[in-house]
Homo-oligomer: A and B are copies of this chain.
Amino acid sequence: MPDTKDHIVSSFDKELRTIHEIIIRMGGMAENQLSDAVDALVQRDSAKAELVRKEDAKIDALEEELEAAVIQLIALRQPVANDLRAVIAAFKISSDLERIGDYAKNIAKRSIAINQMPPQKSVTSIMRMSRLVQEIVKDTLDAFSNSDKDRAIDVWHRDEEVDEMYTSLFRELLTYMMEDPRNIGACTHMLFIAKNIERMGDHATNIAETIYYLATGERLEGKRPKGDRTAFQILTPDDGEGEVEI
């Protein structure tokens, strides 16, 4: 019965495409949320930050919609092998995108606090780091749309650049805190904002790994060059160059 078989295959493909469209929408929203959250910080615009906080619920709702679609697709089409892997991959990717959205929301919250303190010098570095991560998220979504494993590898390597920016920003912020204790409150929020952006990069990298695994059946993990060494950093006012890497 080739007709029935074709019919089943095309129904599956059509429903998987619907799931992929949800992912693309989630990804676009997550990208915008990051951009708007950092704009709210740079422009000291707390109203914009409030908007970002509220918008996050839409990404969460899309994740729930995707979960329901995944369960329905598996139950109705009973996919196996690569088809099933593609569905599970979509499920994993949506949870990474939802987390990226959460981090944007957290940045928005913190920018509301920072907007009530004196302007911060590190805002420019945050903006630069955020632009890089936005590009990476965008490229990850392109790699996903085109099942492009080479682009996935490219994205995966660029996370190192994010980690390096984060490490440098971490040192910059600690230096400001040491220079003047009045900076400590705002710089602490900036540290967490930087960490949030760095974590967004990690989630984009997770997505790249999922795309690569789906395309090749092999795992990229374990080969990633790690640029973020701040967990090992020792920096004191007496010892400004005292970075110890273990």
Residue positions of A touching B, CB distance < 8 A: 60, 64, 67, 70-71, 74-75, 78-81, 84-85, 88, 91-92, 95, 106, 109-110, 112-113, 116-117, 174, 177-178, 181-182, 184-185, 188-189, 191-192, 195, 219, 221, 231-238, 244, 246
CB <8 Å contact, A184 and B185: no
Nearest Cβ distance between residue A15 and chain B, in whole angstroms?
15
Q: Are B75 and A81 in contact (CB under 8 A)?
A: yes
**Alpha-carbon separation in the docked complex, A91 to B88 (Å):** 9
**Contacts A71-B85, A95-B95; is A237 near B182 (CB within 8 Å)?**
yes
Total copies of the chain: 2
Q: Which of B81, B106, B113 contacts A233 (CB 8 A)?
A: B113
Give 10 A-B contacts (CB < 8 Å), ordered by A residue.
A71-B84, A88-B91, A112-B232, A113-B231, A113-B232, A113-B233, A174-B184, A174-B185, A177-B181, A177-B188
